[in-house]
Amino acid sequence: MTDISEHGIARGLTNYGDRAFALYLRRSFIKSMGYSTAMLERPVVGIASSGSGFNNCHRAMPELVEAVKRGVLAAGGLPIEFPTISLGEVFLNPTSLMFRNLMSMDVEEMVRAQPMDSVVLIGGCDKTVPAQLMGAAAADVPAIQLVTGPMMTGRHEGERLGACTDCRRFWGSYRAGKIDRKTIDIVEGRLATTAGTCAVMGTASTMACIAEALGMSLPGTAAIPAVHADRLRAAEASGEMAVRLIHNPIKPSQIITPKSVHNALRVLLALGGSTNAIIHLTAIAGRLNIPVSLELLNILSDSTPVLVDLKPTGGMYMEDFYAAGGMSALLRELKPLLHLDTLTVTGETLGERLAAEKGEWADHQVVRKASNPIEPVGGLVALFGSLAPGGAILKRSAADKTLFEKEARAVVFTSLQDLSERVDDPDLDITADDIMVLQNAGPTSGSGMPEAGYLPIPKKLAVAGVKDMVRISDARMSGTAFGTIVLHVTPEAAAGGPLALVRNGDRIRLSVKERRIDLLVDEAELALRREQLPARPVLAQRGYAKLYQDHVMQANAGCDFDFLRAADKSK
């Protein structure tokens, strides 16, 4: 009788009721692709490729795949590339977050269903890395994350430009009438000039750093620019490591633990990273039943300094971060705050990694020493109160501190369409002292929780020189954006949360010091308004949109699907 191994090409055989026949049939079909019998005896490394013509961040995907294959082959494995869907941030309607869970399901099911002993996940654009890590955590096959890397900066009249913090700055100047159409058209062609993700500490760069902080990527690889030769060397090394993971299996569930999640939160705070990362890290951890509470975020934030001088918090770019020592330099400065016994894909602990890197050079103008931080406390803070019982997020490192303690009148926009139609109306009743409020842009609103929390300054105020205002919504914000913006208000308006009850003229109080965001309206009046809320409409009749509408959870649960989170085994 033929011995049927549970490894390599024989792993997870198609069920015909005869396992020997299933292996015979599989081998006969795979040989049609030209593999030799000797090659088919090797362990299999799957390569999850998320390249797409609708994803500029993944333009260099073919070259990365080939470099991974080279590493796998050199280490004695058989590399087999397979596609998954791709999420190009600016190419998806209504928003990429809506499709993150779909991509995670694609990754999970293909990793589990196809015969691979380990997998290299290649992604970069904002939602692709969290989707891949969510899927890998659920499938729990040995996996390694390889990111595509950030763009290099462009140039405009002697100034360095990087998507997309600079794109928002120039667009703000254009809306304010400070630059003309010709200039904005020229800048448009100079913001994103190479392959890769945004050149600043936006969501893509933040998630790349979080993947490394969790231990799911090779040390020192998060910040390598997409077009740098080191990025290809990292791909080759990732392929080699994927083979080693087969011989010495380490599963994602052994790497993504409560301690490594705490480390990732510390890194997020020290980076002044994207608010989106809270949603993504919560979803990744949730696949392994690891809670990420906003209360914990505040505790860690009060003892974690901002150390990385990158836009939008600072003034530098990802290429500077890499040249300054990248994640290795940052982790060494954070060492006293980290759990050093966490495991990484290399098989070493974080402490062993940092010990091996002791004495390496770092540019402390970009990665500050812990004794000389950019900010003494973390970049993000969670707010609670009558307006956000389940919490909300403020990126305080990229905000105007003079607005942190404020009570003011609300100017309410009831939807994205309402915002679009009225924000630039010359007759809009608004002053720079008011608080802008956007409703019905959360996860179940039908809009998919877009990056609309960066409400534009009304044109008449922008022309007058106003650059920041307090803005509140149940939407998200790009990690590249700057402003005093309260996001992820939970429960959202569409779910009947207090945000739905805000009316023009209401008083709202923000206190970053007290970690509070409150609607100063009598409870009796709120109860009356609650009774008058319209019935929740059915926004989707079929397909993935209906699945999303019926099963997506709130922001404080990571906007994952309720049926995809790991079961609580303690119950």
Domains, the chain, in order of start with CATH, read 42-152+194-356 (3.40.50.2300), 154-188 (no CATH), 380-537 (3.50.30.80)
Q: What are the DSSP E strand ranges found in 149-211?
A: 154-156, 159-161
pLDDT for the residue numbered 1: 37
Please provide residue 302's backbone torsions phi and psi, each rounded to the nearest 5 degrees. -70, -10
Please provide residue 326's backbone torsions phi and psi, each rounded to the nearest 5 degrees. 55, -145
- Neighbouring C-alpha atoms within 13 Å toward the C-beta of 111: 31
pLDDT for the residue numbered 570: 57
With beta carbons less than 8 A apart as the criterion, state whether 531 and 524 touch: no
With beta carbons less than 8 A apart as the criterion, state whether 20 and 1 touch: yes
Which residue type occupies 466? Answer: V
Burial class from Cβ neighbours inside 10 Å (0-12, 13-18, 19+) for residue 500 reads buried
With beta carbons less than 8 A apart as the criterion, state whether 414 and 427 touch: no
With beta carbons less than 8 A apart as the criterion, state whether 395 and 477 touch: yes
Q: How far apart are CA 358 and CA 372, in angstroms?
A: 20
Q: How far apart are CA 518 and CA 144, in angstroms?
A: 43
pLDDT for the residue numbered 571: 54
469-509 confidence digits (pLDDT tens): 999 999 999 988 889 999 999 999 999 999 999 999 999 99
- 68: closest CA among 15, 146, 182, 3? 146
With beta carbons less than 8 A apart as the criterion, state whether 520 and 507 touch: yes
pLDDT for the residue numbered 201: 95
pLDDT along the chain (571 residues), means of 10: 72 94 96 96 97 96 98 98 96 95 98 98 97 98 98 93 87 91 94 94 97 98 98 98 97 98 98 97 98 97 97 94 98 98 98 94 97 96 98 96 98 97 97 98 95 95 96 94 95 97 98 98 97 89 95 98 84 54
Burial code of 377-400, b = ≥16 C-beta within 10 A, e = fewer? bbbbbbbbbbbbebbbbbbbbbbe
Prior bond to 209 cis, omega within 30?
no
- 557: closest CA among 258, 282, 268, 289? 282
- 470: closest CA among 377, 414, 399, 384? 399
Burial class from Cβ neighbours inside 10 Å (0-12, 13-18, 19+) for residue 371 reads exposed
Query: Helices (DSSP H) in 370-457: which residue ranges?
Result: 416-422
What order do you get walking across the sheet with 143-147 strand by strand?
A: 78-83, 44-49, 118-123, 143-147
Q: Token digits for 547?
A: 């699945």
With beta carbons less than 8 A apart as the criterion, state whether 504 and 410 touch: yes
7-50 confidence digits (pLDDT tens): 999 999 999 999 999 999 999 999 999 999 999 999 999 999 99
Enter the pTM of the model: 0.96
Q: What are the DSSP E strand ranges found in 386-539?
A: 388-395, 405-413, 435-438, 471-473, 485-490, 507-511, 516-519
Query: Helices (DSSP H) in 381-433: which residue ranges?
Result: 416-422
With beta carbons less than 8 A apart as the criterion, state whether 306 and 142 touch: no
pLDDT for the residue numbered 481: 87
SS3 breakdown of the chain: % helix, strand, coil, rounded to 5? 40, 15, 45
| DSSP character at residue 556 | G
163-208 confidence digits (pLDDT tens): 888 888 898 899 889 999 999 999 999 999 999 999 999 999 999 9
Burial class from Cβ neighbours inside 10 Å (0-12, 13-18, 19+) for residue 535 reads exposed
Q: How far apart are CA 202 and CA 238, in angstroms?
A: 24
pLDDT for the residue numbered 569: 61
Q: Which residue has the tokens 């009788």?
A: 1
150: left (phi over 0), alpha (psi -120 to 50) or beta: beta
According to DSSP, the β-strands at 154-156 and 159-161 are antiparallel
According to DSSP, the β-strands at 516-519 and 507-511 are antiparallel
- 461: closest CA among 489, 434, 421, 492? 434
